[in-house]
Structure formats: structure tokens, C-alpha cells
Amino acid sequence: MASALADVAARSANEATNAPGGSMYKFLECTARQYMTGAVITVTRQVTLRELELLFEKHDFNSFPVVEEEKILGIVTKFDFLRAFAFTTRQVVPHYDDLMKRSVGEIMTQRVVRVEPATPLTRVLDLMVDFNARSFPVVSSEDRLVGVISREDVMRALREATQEVR
């Protein structure tokens, strides 16, 4: 019975793919695991803002996952970096060199939206729109970072899913 249902589902998906506009059904089957970047450059909480600035310049990334012992602790973004320099009436701004000695652990965002490898890209896309996010860490059930899924990855999946129709 189960294999008969699987056959019917496969035929339906195949027919839908060949129908006008059906190539979008291929995108519905895509997951974060298929399109994520697996080799991720990470930082630890001990990295200084001076070191972080050089990493942002070298790699032109908007953020880096903060990882220790293979577990994700948070994320540090260019916005987090800039916030350390914000002038407010409640905050006396220390000398530039003192700020640059601060650590990532002091400025990182700990509460991070993350996805699992099996997360459908439709869900990833929804989250990107809802949170106006550029990327999400892809994390295993043991909180281990396995990759990053970015806007560019989702755009590539959309392009590849609809390529033969165009």
C-alpha cells in the first residue's frame, strides 16, 4: 500500500512538473541541505573587534557564526560591530582602540533564527522575508553548525528548478 501511494505521489509530482507553471513544484522539494554552503568561516567569542573587522573586509560577508566546540553560540553581524560604536546619551564612548579590543562574545547576537538541513526552501524563503534576513545558519539536531543558507542559495534553487521551462 505504501509503495502504491508513493507511486501515485511521484506520478502526480511528475505531471505537475510538466504542467504550465509546474516547474515551481521542483522548488517545493528543495531543502536547505541541497543548497547550503557547507564550508563556513566561523569565529569564536574570543575574537577581537579588530580581528573581526579584518575578517569582514577580507571575506565581504555580512555575518559570521560564532562557534565553539562545534556548537553554534550565536552570530555576529556588521550591525553588531557598528552598534559597539553607537553614540548615545546613555553611553560614554571609550577610545577607539579600547573598543577594538572588545570581544565578539560581548557584542554577538545570541538568539538566532536557524534552520535544519531538512528544512524546505519554501520555509527558508518565508523566514527570510519575515525577518528580512540575508542568511541563516543550518544546524543539526545537536546544535552543530553544518552550513549556511543564503539569499543567493535560494535564488539559485529557484533558477535551477525553473531552468528547463524558460
Around Cβ 142, how many Cβ atoms within 10 Å? 8
Q: What pLDDT is attached to residue 13? A: 47
- Determine the topology of domain 2-162 in CATH: CBS-domain (3.10.580)
Give the residue extent of every domain in the chain.
Answer: 2-162
Which residue, 47, 160, 58, 147, is CA-closest to 105?
47
pTM of structure: 0.76
Q: What pLDDT is attached to residue 130? A: 95
Cβ contacts of 135 within 8 Å, gap of 6 or more: 62, 63, 148, 149, 150, 151
Average pLDDT over residues 39-58: 95
Q: What pLDDT is attached to residue 5? A: 36
- Cα separation, 80 vs 110, whole angstroms: 11
Q: Which residue has the higher pLDDT, 20 or 61?
A: 61
Q: Is the pLDDT of residue 156 over 60?
A: yes
Q: What pLDDT is attached to residue 150? A: 93
